[in-house]
Amino acid sequence: MPTRVFLIVSVWIVSFALAAAMIGAVIDAPRLFSLQRRCGETSGEITHILPRTHGLIEVRYVVSGVAFKQALQMHNEIGPVTEGAHLTVYYSTNDPRVAFTEPPADILTEQLPAWIMGSLLVSTAITLGIFLLWRSDMPQRRLSIRVSSPKIISLAATIGLVSGLTSAVYSGTVVTGTLVGGGFILCGCGTFLVLAWRRKLSWRALARSAVFWIAFALVVIGNLFDVFLR
């Protein structure tokens, strides 16, 4: 296999794996998988329908005599979505605060097509962008270099993060994981932004910078906090 083809295939595989991991974290796949073996059921009551959110409801349920009240994502076929309505809550026997409104297997089955398609689109876009960078004879090379520059990537990441945190605060869905994780991620993105814009480091220079890898570690830690403290 030619070297360039091998590199393109390798980039696609790695980018697909990273995209799948990131999307999986967003849809709570680790918790859903762990809940497959240790899942309990109890009756819950919808106490509040959270306004300005994408299907979040506040549910009260009791496990072993202890009452919990969580903001849960609505899923299909949970019955009437009105305050006071009852529904089945599926919770982790290790930590009853981890709960869903549908069986974990059904949620994973529902999310799987979008999960795979999103990973395919992201990995294909990244691979195509790198391919355009390698093709020096293509007129799109200058544009692709600018779009994929550290300045544009750092700015887009920071804007996306700030927008997400602002939306969470505005909708009232901020939880401990979002606050703690968001703080770490914001520090990482801010450091990345300074390195790209003020110090004007290229991707090669960033790869050699210890500060950049510290910023990257902050982003990873922040995402872990967001997933496990949510």
Give me the tens of pLDDT residue by residue for the chain, a chain 230 residues long: 456 677 777 778 877 887 787 777 777 777 788 787 788 889 998 888 876 555 678 899 999 889 998 888 776 555 557 788 888 899 888 888 888 888 888 888 877 888 888 888 878 877 776 666 665 555 555 544 554 577 777 777 777 667 666 655 654 555 566 677 778 888 888 888 888 888 887 777 887 888 888 888 888 787 777 655 55
Residue 61 is predicted with a pLDDT of 93
Beta strands in 64-108, from DSSP E residues, in sequence order: 66-73, 86-92, 99-100
Contact residues for 109 (Cβ-Cβ < 8 A; gap 6+) = none
Residue 117 is predicted with a pLDDT of 84
- pTM here is 0.51
Beta strands in 14-124, from DSSP E residues, in sequence order: 39-49, 56-63, 66-73, 86-92, 99-100
Residue 60 is predicted with a pLDDT of 92
CA distance 17 to 120: 10
Q: H or E stretch including 196?
A: helix 176-197
Residue 172 per-residue DSSP state? T
Residue whose structure tokens are 């299909």: 76
> In b/e form, how buried is each residue of 130-154, taking b as 16+ CB within 10 angstroms?
bbbeeeeeeeeeeebeeeeebeeeb
Residue 176 is predicted with a pLDDT of 61
CA distance 88 to 190: 42
